[in-house]
């Protein structure tokens, strides 16, 4: 059983998801932010489950829209194990640095968007690094750096579903274009392109993205994201840094317009009010400066 749970972030449907699996006991992939805890509880309750029934949380990465609720879940269920890339495990145990970084990005809106982040006790954390054995039967972790260096996708071997987090980008509708999420400071486009080349071999029947849905056109979307990343990199490189504010604003407006043509003006506005395309422009600019 694989089910997408719409966490309805700030009341917006189709923005942030978690994935519920039974392998054979119930586990969550990316429980989402703490602001969505009540909705998460409701989604579980609809399926006859409570947080106390969960046996594990699998994180694709530790950005707060994916992992912010993790410490809260462990505080309610002290038998819960948290599986995460070894490089990110210290920030799960002590999220202060992560939260400071996120506050710099979101400013006064931080608490409204993500609420508080609680540490996970070390005994509950199961770090994974490339080369380690799979920690859970039927679920294979795959290193997928790019969006951030510690990104991990989880392949459900029996059902042929790749749980991608942000590794396949943002896909807000089956008709919508892929949007490349490249926020500062962790994006590495060269690593991401290598990831997209490497994951071809898995050729999953379906794949899930946190923003938002489960889709079947893996190869087409893989190629589309690769092209979108390359196009954004070329565009930022070609634009003078002195004109960055205007160029980022133009990119933001164009992104919203392209998405709104498919998902509607209101949903596009509310989604990109939180996950700014201008911030993705800034992340790409920082990536290019570091490479230079």
pLDDT tops 90 at residue 24: no
- Which three-class secondary structure string do you get for 16-56? CEEEEEECCCEEEECCCCHHHHHHHHHHHHHCCCCHHHCCE
Residue with tokens 């106390």: 52
**Strand-pair partners of 84:** 127
**72-82 pLDDT per residue, tens:** 999 999 999 99
- Architecture, CATH, for domain 140-292: 4-Layer Sandwich (3.60)
- The whole-number pLDDT of residue 135 equals 87
* Comparison of pLDDT for 135 and 153, the residue scoring more: 153
Residue 152 has phi, psi (to 5 degrees) of -130, 130
Peptide bond between residue 110 and the one before it cis (omega within 30 degrees of 0) = no
CATH code 3.60.15.10 region(s) in the chain? 1-137, 140-292
- The whole-number pLDDT of residue 205 equals 95
Inter-CA distances, 166 with 43, 122, 123, 192, 201, Å: 22, 26, 27, 11, 19
pTM of the model: 0.96
Tell me the average pLDDT across 235-255. Answer: 95
Confidence of residue 21 (pLDDT cuts 50, 70, 90): very high
Per the CB < 8 A criterion, the answer to whether 28 and 127 are in contact is: no
In the chain, what is the straight-line distance between the N-terminal and C-terminal CA atoms, in Å? 46
DSSP for residue 243: G
Q: What's the topology of domain 1-137?
A: Metallo-beta-lactamase; Chain A (3.60.15)
What proportion of the chain, given as a percentage, has pLDDT over 90? Answer: 93
């Amino acid at each position: 059983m694989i089910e997408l749970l719409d966490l309805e972030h700030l009341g917006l449907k189709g923005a942030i998801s978690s994935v519920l699996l039974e392998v054979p006991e119930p586990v969550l992939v990316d429980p989402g932010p703490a602001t969505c805890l009540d909705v998460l509880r409701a989604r579980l309750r609809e399926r006859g489950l409570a947080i106390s029934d969960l046996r594990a949380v699998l994180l694709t990465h530790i950005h707060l829209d994916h992992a912010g609720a993790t410490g809260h879940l462990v505080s309610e269920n002290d038998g819960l194990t948290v599986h995460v890339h070894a490089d990110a495990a210290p920030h799960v145990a002590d999220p202060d640095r992560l939260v400071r970084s996120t506050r710099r990005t979101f400013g006064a809106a931080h608490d409204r968007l993500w609420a508080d982040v609680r540490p996970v006790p070390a005994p509950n954390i199961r770090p994974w690094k490339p080369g380690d054995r799979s920690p859970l039967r039927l679920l294979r972790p795959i290193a997928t750096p790019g969006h951030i260096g510690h990104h991990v996708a989880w392949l459900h071997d029996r059902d042929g579903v790749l749980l991608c987090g942000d590794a396949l980008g943002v896909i807000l509708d089956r008709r919508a274009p892929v949007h490349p999420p490249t926020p500062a400071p962790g994006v590495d486009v060269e690593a991401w392109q290598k990831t997209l080349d490497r994951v071809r071999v898995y050729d999953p029947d379906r794949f899930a993205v946190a923003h938002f849905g489960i889709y079947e056109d893996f190869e087409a979307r893989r190629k589309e994201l690769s092209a979108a990343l390359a196009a954004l990199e070329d565009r930022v490189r070609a634009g003078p840094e002195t004109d960055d504010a205007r160029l980022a604003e133009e990119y933001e407006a164009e992104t919203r317009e392209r998405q709104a043509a498919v998902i509607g003006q209101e949903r596009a506005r509310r989604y990109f009010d939180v996950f700014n395309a201008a911030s993705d422009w800034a992340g790409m600019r920082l990536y290019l400066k570091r490479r230079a």
